[in-house]
């Protein structure tokens, strides 16, 4: 019994281990100057995509509501947070990154969370495909609104050159690592708690969840808010990584990209899939740049293949043989066999 | 909503006087009935799905609700749990009206149920299914679970222990970590009962608990129903087509046909009631000689 309990937590521990190891590698690679320019430019995007994928997984995989507007929440965070950062830096030019970045993240995240709640309330009345359309519309509305707001630079975009640190990737990395790891811990803590169970119960059977005394509306709105908060934080990171935030970046395509990460990584309470998928899907298009014209073709074919591999019943046998549990079992079996043969020799 | 309130207030004086047709086991005599349903009815369009449904259930009674297919039995359960808003009538749970409450609030007031077509949280473990039911009785707010404060661990520990305890009613502790969706049919039905019990109800509504069970499983279920009543001291109301179970375990039985109560009584009274026999088997035509 205890074994099984710790096994569940072990999944989270593995996710955290992978994250920590990944950031350590990034840090070493960046600080020793081993990284190519291509890799350098990918590290921060990889990190905020991880954050986006985890937060969307909370909504899609844990709550079970399809959202196509995650880029919209991200853009709210990016614009509000970076606007705050830009104003701060304008007023106090000597303010260090360590001071204005966290402030920007909290404010950007809260702004996105507010939008999450605002979208969450009407979304209580629609389900499935219809909710997907509502969130899709939300993303487009935000993009169009921002395009026409002179405060945020309109269609030209918000100039974030002043808040973007020099030697961007290396300077941002400690903050990015801290934020991504902390967010992952918070989200996984939530999922493995009383509240997480209630949220998953709503996903599995709404009617039974209500009959068990769960306030479905409260949890749905709360998850919208929490998920949007972390998307907003990712947006602030995005803003600090580039010299300009353009509204058209946060279009439908980006929302889909994040959703693809969540789906390929496997929806549900295990966040490791989202993390790996976010990394792979950020790196893949960059690597394929060498193939020029065929890039998107290869990318989409690979998506189809990954999807087939991760979910088609025909590959179940191969999947099992590649799973950690199976490899471990084999290893221990080998050890046992060795032990036995040794004992046999001794006798 | 206002329409319903006026109905209640119009009958207000009559509401709390003892109903004429009381059917309560001697054990519960003199105690306030845990469930007091007066003139409950619902219309779906022009169809009177349930009409004039009036029963009282004692605090530790095992009551049965039977009737032919389509009589409105499950509709009554849906009315009792506020899944449907009644068109007429009132429900008093331990003396408190449930009108205007949400399904979740009614559950917290003390009515838990199982479903005719099993509704488990399939992707969650058996243990977690039970722990979801305990949500209202373990306290730990969002911040505490986000930050894993001591209360979170306390709540987790307590709920795990209690859930395993509840699972032991049906000897299901060994399956605590299987996914609920992977359980065999009978075990799924038993898990639903445990999940409902986890919400600490005063009244447990079982919708066809023996459906799909073999005779020996049904006998075991009867024993369990009795022992649940005894250990938890709660009222149980069940819908069931298996007459052996109904007659064996229920103390009071209400018979529904076409949305109307046609008989109430003890198992023996029901067995010999002509209206009931007619509802189930049809009228026997007297052959002219």
Chain segment B264-289, per-residue pLDDT in tens: 988 988 888 888 888 888 876 666 54
The token duo for A95 is 């303010």
Chain segment A249-259, per-residue pLDDT in tens: 999 999 999 99
Question: What's the pLDDT score for residue A35?
Answer: 80
User: Exposure of A310 by Cβ count < 10 A (0-12 exposed, 13-18 middle, 19+ buried)?
Assistant: middle
Q: How confident is the model at residue B19 (pLDDT cuts 50, 70, 90)?
A: very low
Closest Cα to residue A164, out of A86, A241, A245, A249? A241
Interface probe for A, chosen from B79, B104, B152, B176 (most Cβ of A below 10 Å), is B104
How many domains in chain B? 1
In this structure, is residue B154 part of a structural domain?
no
Considering only alpha carbons, which residue of chain A is nearest residue B197?
A: A212
* Residue from the list B104, B119, B156 with its beta carbon closest to the beta carbon of A215: B104
Collect all residues of chain B within an 8 Å Cβ-Cβ radius of residue A201. 121, 124, 132
Q: Chain B contact for A194, CB < 8 A?
A: yes
Q: How far is CA B200 from the centre of its chain?
A: 13
Query: Do A193 and B156 lie within an 8 Å CB cutoff?
Result: yes
Distance CA B98, CA B107 (A): 10
Collect all residues of chain B within an 8 Å Cβ-Cβ radius of residue A210. 102-104, 107
Collect all residues of chain B within an 8 Å Cβ-Cβ radius of residue A186. 146-147
Considering only alpha carbons, which residue of chain B is nearest residue A217?
A: B104
Q: Chain B contact for A204, CB < 8 A?
A: yes
Q: How confident is the model at residue B25 (pLDDT cuts 50, 70, 90)?
A: low
Distance CA B24, CA B60 (A): 9
Considering only alpha carbons, which residue of chain B is nearest residue A189?
A: B146
Closest Cα to residue B54, out of B225, B259, B245, B277? B259
Question: What is the pLDDT of chain A when averaged over all its residues?
Answer: 88
Q: How far is CA B233 from the centre of its chain?
A: 14
Per-residue 3-state assignment (H helix, E strand, C coil) for chain A:
CHHHHHHHHHHHHHHHHHHHHHHHHHHHHHHCCCCCHHHHHHHHHHHHHHHHHHHHHHHHHHHCCCCCCHHHHHHHHHHHHHHHHHHHHHHCCCCCHHHHHHHHHHHHHHHHHHHHHHHHHHHCCCCHHHHHHHHHHHHHHHHHHHHCCHHHCHHHCEECCCCCCCCHHHHHHHHHHHHHHHHHHHHHHHHCCHHHHHHHHHHHCHHHHHHCCCCHHHHHHHHHHHHHHHHHHHHHHHHHHCCEECHHHHCHHHHHHHHHHHHHHCCCCCCHHHHHHHHHHHHHHHHHHHHHHHHHHHHHHHHHHHHHHHHCHHHHHHHHHHCHHHHHHHHHHHHHHHHHHHHHHHC
Question: What's the pLDDT score for residue B287?
Answer: 61
Question: What's the pLDDT score for residue A285?
Answer: 84
Q: Chain B contact for A213, CB < 8 A?
A: yes
Domain range enclosing B93 = 2-115+202-217+235-281
In this structure, is residue B126 part of a structural domain?
no
Q: Chain B contact for A3, CB < 8 A?
A: no
Considering only alpha carbons, which residue of chain B is nearest residue A4?
A: B177
Query: Do B103 and A211 lie within an 8 Å CB cutoff?
Result: yes
Distance CA B194, CA A36 (A): 59
Closest Cα to residue B209, out of B198, B223, B193, B230? B193
* Residue from the list B102, B133, B155 with its beta carbon closest to the beta carbon of A212: B133
Q: How confident is the model at residue B149 (pLDDT cuts 50, 70, 90)?
A: confident
pLDDT at B17 over 60: no
In this structure, is residue B36 part of a structural domain?
yes
**A201 to chain B nearest CA, in Å?**
6
Chain segment B58-78, per-residue pLDDT in tens: 999 999 999 998 899 999 999
Phi, then psi, of B87 in degrees rounded to 5? -75, -35
Question: What's the pLDDT score for residue A343?
Answer: 63
**B226 to chain A nearest CA, in Å?**
22
Give the residue ranges of chain A where pLDDT is below 70.
1-8, 324, 340-347
Query: Do A213 and B199 lie within an 8 Å CB cutoff?
Result: yes
Interface probe for A, chosen from B93, B116, B132, B136 (most Cβ of A below 10 Å), is B132
- CB burial readout B139-151, b (16+ within 10 A) else e: ebeeebbbeeeee
Phi, then psi, of B70 in degrees rounded to 5? 75, 15
In this structure, is residue B167 part of a structural domain?
no
Question: What's the pLDDT score for residue B23?
Answer: 60
In this structure, is residue B55 part of a structural domain?
yes
In this structure, is residue B183 part of a structural domain?
no
**A295 to chain B nearest CA, in Å?**
38
pLDDT at B10 over 70: no
Residue ranges and CATH numbers for the domains of chain A are 2-286 (1.10.3470)
Question: What's the pLDDT score for residue A3?
Answer: 46
Distance CA A264, CA A262 (A): 6
Question: What's the pLDDT score for residue B288?
Answer: 57
CATH number at residue B34: 3.40.50.300
User: Exposure of B223 by Cβ count < 10 A (0-12 exposed, 13-18 middle, 19+ buried)?
Assistant: exposed
* Residue from the list B132, B159, B176 with its beta carbon closest to the beta carbon of A212: B132
Q: Chain B contact for A222, CB < 8 A?
A: yes
pLDDT at B138 over 70: yes
Collect all residues of chain B within an 8 Å Cβ-Cβ radius of residue A209. 121, 132
Half-sphere CA count of A278, side-chain side, radius 13 A: 31
Q: Chain B contact for A331, CB < 8 A?
A: no
Q: Which residue has the tokens 């088997």?
A: B281
Q: How far is CA B124 from the centre of its chain?
A: 24
* Residue from the list A200, A211, A216 with its beta carbon closest to the beta carbon of B81: A211
Distance CA B127, CA B262 (A): 41
DSSP B125: B
Query: Do A215 and B131 lie within an 8 Å CB cutoff?
Result: no
In this structure, is residue B208 part of a structural domain?
yes
Contact between residue A66 and residue A131 where contact means Cβ atoms under 8 Å apart: yes
* Residue from the list A189, A210, A222 with its beta carbon closest to the beta carbon of B148: A189
* Residue from the list B115, B132, B148 with its beta carbon closest to the beta carbon of A198: B132
Considering only alpha carbons, which residue of chain B is nearest residue A61?
A: B123
Helix (H, G, I), strand (E, B) or coil at B118: coil
Question: What is the pLDDT of chain B when averaged over all its residues?
Answer: 86
């Amino acid at each position: 019994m205890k074994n099984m309990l710790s096994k569940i937590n072990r999944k989270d521990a593995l996710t955290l281990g992978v994250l920590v190891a990944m950031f350590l590698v990034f840090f070493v690679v960046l600080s020793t100057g081993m990284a190519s320019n291509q890799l350098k430019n990918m590290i921060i995007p990889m990190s905020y995509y991880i954050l986006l994928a985890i937060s969307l997984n909370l909504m899609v995989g844990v709550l079970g509501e399809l959202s196509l507007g995650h880029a919209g929440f991200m853009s709210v965070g990016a614009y509000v947070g970076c606007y705050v950062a830009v104003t701060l830096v304008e007023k106090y030019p000597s303010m260090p990154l360590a001071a204005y970045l966290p402030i920007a993240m909290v404010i950007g995240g809260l702004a996105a969370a507010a939008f999450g709640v605002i979208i969450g309330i009407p979304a209580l009345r629609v389900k499935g495909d219809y909710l997907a359309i509502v969130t899709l519309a939300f993303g487009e509305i935000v993009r169009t609104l921002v395009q026409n707001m002179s405060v945020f630079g309109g269609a030209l975009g918000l100039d974030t050159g002043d808040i973007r640190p020099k030697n961007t990737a290396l300077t941002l990395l400690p903050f990015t690592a801290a934020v991504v790891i902390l967010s992952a811990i918070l989200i996984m803590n939530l999922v493995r708690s009383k509240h997480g169970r209630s949220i998953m119960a709503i996903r599995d059977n709404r009617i039974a969840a209500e009959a068990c005394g769960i306030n479905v509306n409260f949890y749905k709105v709360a998850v919208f808010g929490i998920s949007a908060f972390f998307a907003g934080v990712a947006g602030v990171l995005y803003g600090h990584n580039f010299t300009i935030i353009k509204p058209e970046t946060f279009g439908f395509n980006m929302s889909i990209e994040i959703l693809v990460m969540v789906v390929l990584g496997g929806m549900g309470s295990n966040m490791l899939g989202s993390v790996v998928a976010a990394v792979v899907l950020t790196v893949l298009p960059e690597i394929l740049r060498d193939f020029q014209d065929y890039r998107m073709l290869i990318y989409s074919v690979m998506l189809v293949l990954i999807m087939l591999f991760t979910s088609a019943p025909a590959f179940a046998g191969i999947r099992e043989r590649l799973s950690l549990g199976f490899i471990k079992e084999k290893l221990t079996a080998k050890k046992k066999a060795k032990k036995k043969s040794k004992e046999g020799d001794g006798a | 909503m206002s329409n319903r309130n006026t109905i209640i207030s119009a009958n207000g004086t009559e509401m709390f006087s003892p109903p004429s047709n009381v059917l309560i086991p001697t054990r519960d005599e003199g105690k306030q009935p845990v469930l007091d349903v007066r003139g409950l009815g619902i219309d779906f369009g022009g169809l009177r799905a349930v009409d004039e449904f009036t029963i009282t259930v004692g605090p530790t009674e095992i009551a049965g609700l039977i009737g032919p297919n389509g009589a409105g039995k499950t509709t009554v359960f849906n009315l009792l749990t506020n899944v449907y808003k009644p068109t007429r009538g009132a429900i008093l749970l331990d003396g408190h009206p449930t009108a205007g409450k949400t399904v979740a609030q009614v559950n917290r007031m003390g009515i838990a149920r199982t479903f005719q077509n099993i509704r488990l949280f399939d992707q969650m473990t058996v243990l977690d299914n039970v722990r979801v039911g305990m949500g209202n009785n373990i306290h730990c707010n969002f911040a505490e679970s986000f930050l894993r404060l001591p209360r979170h661990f306390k709540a987790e520990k307590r709920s795990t222990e209690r859930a395993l305890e509840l699972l032991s009613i049906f000897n299901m502790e060994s399956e605590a970590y299987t996914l609920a969706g992977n359980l065999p049919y009978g075990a799924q039905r038993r898990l639903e009962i445990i999940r409902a019990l986890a919400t600490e109800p005063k009244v447990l509504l079982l919708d066809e608990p023996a459906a799909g069970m073999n005779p020996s499983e049904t006998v075991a279920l009867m024993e369990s129903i009795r022992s649940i009543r005894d250990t938890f001291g709660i009222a149980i109301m069940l819908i069931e087509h298996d007459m052996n179970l109904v007659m064996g375990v229920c103390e009071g039985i209400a018979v529904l046909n076409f949305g109307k109560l046609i008989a109430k009584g003890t198992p023996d009274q029901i067995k010999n009631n002509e209206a009931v026999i007619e509802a189930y088997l049809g009228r026997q035509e007297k052959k002219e000689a």
